[in-house]
Chains A and B, each alone.
Chain A
């Protein structure tokens, strides 16, 4: 009898264990989804510490930038369970919050003592909040990024070029402070022979398919006075999107494209721009700051040959925000483990290591630490740029708004159709239709 009882108990335990095992196995592995790029490799390295500490394995799903939005927005929209954690683009936050894709983190932050005041304010607004400027948090700022510029310091320092430049333009050749100066430098280098090779002025964003030209154009337009809407009346765009200053800014972007980019620059985004710089074709390059560590390490153009500067100023001084926050996907069955990862990632020592490995931390304790600005040659330019960021619409309909802008500005800047005023007037019309359809106006 006792034997039978033991056997039954054994069987029951085995059954209980086997039914519990799948859950236990699930809790021991988290999948983090992000873009396939250099910082993702740094995150893989960093996450080894998390696994060592918690025994939770990390699996990564990285997708190239060209299909990043398509892949993961499809995943979220279909309420897929692939990603437990996602580092989603800043513009997704509105849609992801309103459609219930992300877990709201306020309660968790309060419980764990994670304070948003500890992070760079612009990154909190850009990556975490929806609605903007309200204390509703859907992500932890994870990867700070911003559009800035790199330049060929070695070319700028050539005495013969410095002399010729000074004679021609009346000021010392160096990182530009205004867009007029930037264009003068670009014109100066365009089709010039440097070290026996024909080089060009600047590489700027012109890509049509995803978001490239919009990121480049807005990056410049902000400085000329472009605004998305009337600050006093949301969604009123007439006179702001297409203001005379914004028109001038767009004309400037086209002039820069026409005068000073390498031949065949009609579809350039992050990779192509970095390639133009790495191959020694251009004197200056517009690109997101995430490319800087890699370029600095480059054997041919890195080290002493490269310099970094934030966007020049014009009427205003802004830069296009890039970067992302990390969120917990609401369809994940491993929410607790995912939150554990967020808690771990928010720690100052982890954030410090994140910066050391090549990620851009958004934690004030890291970026405001003494010695941060001199910790890397690009750290100061990154800090200066992050202080002036502005982002594209983060509305749930951001993709339609983005598409409209891609089409309108590419049509003017690259195809040369119509005028800048017509392009921006058309943009106001398109955006008004989107917001009308959304019931916002």
Chain B
């Protein structure tokens, strides 16, 4: 059935730009409502003494005091250090193991599709599920991890207190995050490896380049943009890590696993220091945004080489 003439005329009357706007308007509206407005509101709150648990109290401007307090608070620096330790080691481990797995899977041995699926399972699970079952795995009395570690080291299981020991607890979280997210890094690396044209290797073979030389001169440089992309994604995600740490240790023992997002949550929704928490959130946002921008520029340079 043909479109009635007046409507058709009206639709025909819309410019391409107007139609484009009509299509993106809902998305833009949502973005403004749930991303941009809260961000601007948080920036405003960061300059006030507002506390969300005192809705009737007067809201006064405090200038840069919240920022000053956050930046001079040794506990926040401690939390940042804990976060940096966590981000650094998870990225190192996930990149090395993820790339190694991708390299193996790329050999296309028999049953590689099956093993790829098996390896991908951890990243398909919910962090809440992972956090809970690793808590049981780490149990000194009944946990499989403690049994395995005891068999290897000879230390009694009751002494392997992964979540209660100050020196082991940060590594307990790093292990879980690595277990869960290495497959994700592997997938991205695998895409990178598969994008390398075969003729480059064939040319290298003709030139009698050794496998070692091919790896360092072809595989790594050509997969590097993908590896860097994986590092970027994991870095941003792990900087915000909250759920797994909360489930496994709650930030303890003491404060050794209290990452920045937990400190932020406690300031915002337990102490209800909304203004100060907003300042901290803005600082974190600027830090992540700034670092990510620098990183993306480096990534573009690598891609252009």
Contact = CB atoms under 8 A, between A and B. Distances in A.
Contacts of B31: none
Nearest to B158: A263
Residue among A95, A209, A396 facing the most chain B CB atoms (10 A cut-off): A209
A266 interface: yes
Provide the main secondary structure of the chain A interface.
loop
Interface in B237-285: 246, 249-256, 266, 269-273
B52 interface: yes
B220 interface: no
A118 to B, nearest CB: 32
A403 interface: yes
B141 A263 contact: yes
B269 A74 contact: yes
Contacts of B85: none
B252 A266 contact: yes
B55 A410 contact: no
Given A209-B251, A407-B254, A415-B254, A99 B141 contact: no
Given A207-B250, A396-B54, A415-B252, A264 B272 contact: no
B164 interface: yes
A184 interface: no
Interface string B34-64: 0000000000000000001111110000000
Contacts of B253: 208, 266, 410-411, 414-415
Contacts of A209: 246, 250-252
Nearest to A412: B254
B249 A267 contact: yes
Interface string B158-180: 11010110100000000000000
A407 B73 CA distance: 15
Contacts of B141: 262-264, 281
Interface in A207-241: 207-210
B164 A417 contact: no
Residue among B54, B141, B252 facing the most chain A CB atoms (10 A cut-off): B252
Q: How large is the interface on A (under 10, 10 to 19, 20 to 34, 35 or more residues)?
A: 35 or more
B252 A208 contact: yes
A208 B262 CA distance: 12
Contacts of A396: 53-54
A77 B273 contact: no
A119 B53 CA distance: 30
A100 B251 contact: no
A73 interface: yes
A399 interface: yes
B177 to A, nearest CB: 18
Given A208-B249, A414-B252, A415-B253, A403 B166 contact: no
Contacts of A264: 138-141, 143, 161, 163-164
Contact of B56 (A78, A99, A210): A99
B196 to A, nearest CB: 47
A70 B272 CA distance: 11
Nearest to A191: B158
B164 A265 contact: yes
Interface string A254-267: 00000000111111
Given A100-B56, A208-B249, A407-B255, A266 B161 contact: yes
B53 A410 contact: no
A400 interface: yes
Interface in A391-420: 396-397, 399-400, 402-403, 407, 410-412, 414-417
Nearest to A423: B254
Residue among A263, A403, A407 facing the most chain B CB atoms (10 A cut-off): A263
Nearest to B162: A264
Contacts of A407: 254-255
Contacts of B53: 73, 77, 95, 99, 396, 399
A77 B163 contact: no
Contact of A77 (B246, B249, B250, B272): B272
B98 to A, nearest CB: 30
Contact of B163 (A70, A95, A98, A266): A266
A136 interface: no
A316 B94 CA distance: 55
B254 A417 contact: yes
Contacts of B273: 400
Given A210-B250, A266-B164, 17 more contacts: A73-B53, A73-B269, A77-B53, A77-B55, A78-B55, A98-B54, A208-B250, A208-B253, A263-B141, A263-B159, A264-B138, A400-B273, A407-B254, A414-B164, A415-B253, A415-B255, A417-B166
30 contacts: A73-B269, A99-B53, A208-B249, A209-B246, A209-B252, A210-B250, A263-B161, A264-B139, A264-B141, A264-B161, A264-B163, A264-B164, A265-B164, A266-B163, A266-B164, A266-B252, A267-B163, A396-B54, A397-B271, A399-B270, A399-B271, A400-B272, A402-B270, A403-B266, A403-B271, A410-B252, A411-B255, A415-B166, A415-B252, A416-B166
